[in-house]
Amino acid sequence: MDRGNHAIKGISLQQIKKVYHDNVVVESVDLELAEGQFLCLLGPSGSGKTTLLRMIAGLVKPDGGRMLLNGEDIVSVPANKRNFGMVFQQYALFPHMTVWDNVAYGLKARGEKARSSRRRSKST
Q: What is the CATH number of the domain that holds 17?
A: 3.40.50.300
Range of the domain at 64: 2-81
Decide: 13 and 65 in contact? Cβ < 8 Å: yes
Give the pLDDT score at 104: 78
> 22-26, long-range: CB within 8 Å, 24+ apart, which pairs?
25/51, 26/51, 26/52, 26/55, 26/62
**Single pTM value for the model:** 0.68
The yes-or-no verdict on residue 109 having pLDDT over 90 is no
In this structure, are 114 and 73 located in the same domain? no
Asked if residue 28 and residue 77 are part of one domain, the reply reads: yes
39-70 pLDDT tens trace? 888 899 889 999 999 999 999 999 999 999 99
Containing 107, the helix (H) or strand (E) segment is helix 99-109
Per-chain mean pLDDT for the chain: 82
Indicate whether 66 and 97 sit together in one domain. Answer: no
